[in-house]
Amino acid sequence: MSGPVIHDVTTLPANDNVNAYAFSVDLKGQWFLQKGKMIAYYGRISFHGIGHGPLDRLIAGSFHSPLHAADWVVAEGQGKMLLADRSFDVNSYDLEDGNLTVRSGNLLAFEPSLSLKQSIIPGFLTLIGTGKFVAASNGPVVFVEPPIRVDPQALVGWADCPSPCHHYDHQYLRGSWAGCAG
C-alpha cells in the first residue's frame, strides 16, 4: 500500500493536473486569477489587483469586465501556482481563435492572450481569442452540440454563439436553456 504523493516545486506537473481537484500552472509571465482559487505557489510571483498596479496596460488589453474586476488579480513572475475550487473537478482547456462563455464562478484562471468580456447573460463571462484557461465543474464536463436543453444550474458554459435562448419548458415545469442555432 503506497502513501500519499508529496510534491514540491520540482515534482509538480507543468500546466497539468496534480489530481482531479488541483491544477498546476507553470508561470512564465502573467496569468489572470480569480481571487480565492489559488491554494499555493512556489517561486518569484507577485500579485496585482485589476486596475491597481503596474500591469494596467496588460489589463486594458485583456480584461473588459468591470463588474467582475474586483474578483480578479494578475499573477506575474516565474514559478508554479496550484489552483483549486472547493472539491470540484479542475481542468484546463485550450481555446483556438474562438469565443467561450462560462459561468463566472467556474472560471479559475486564464492566460492574458485571451480577452475577457462581460456576457450579456448575468453571471457569465466570455473569453475571446487563443490561449489556455482553467475551469472547475461539479463533476465531469460534457460537451454537446446545440440545440440542447439543460438545467440552467448545471450549465457551465457554451462556445461560439452570442447567447443561449431561454425558454420556459412547460413539460418539465422549470426553466431551461436552449443552445443557439447559428
| Residue 46, pLDDT score | 94
| Residue 145, pLDDT score | 78
Q: Which three cell numbers stand for residue 117?
A: 468580456
Q: What is the mean pLDDT of each run of 10 residues along the chain (182 residues)?
A: 80 94 96 95 91 57 62 93 96 92 94 89 90 93 80 80 52 49 43
Return d(Cα 81, Cα 38) in angstroms, integer.
Answer: 7
The CATH number for 16-141, chosen from 3.30.470.20, 3.90.76.10, 3.60.160.10, 3.40.980.10, is 3.60.160.10
126-173 pLDDT, tens per residue? 999 999 999 999 988 888 877 777 877 788 888 876 555 554 454 544
| Residue 36, pLDDT score | 94
Burial category of 127 from C-beta neighbours within 10 Å (exposed 0-12, middle 13-18, buried 19 and up): buried
| Residue 165, pLDDT score | 55
| Nearest alpha carbon to residue 21 among 136, 110, 109, 134 | 136
Q: Where in the chain is the domain with CATH 3.60.160.10?
A: 16-141
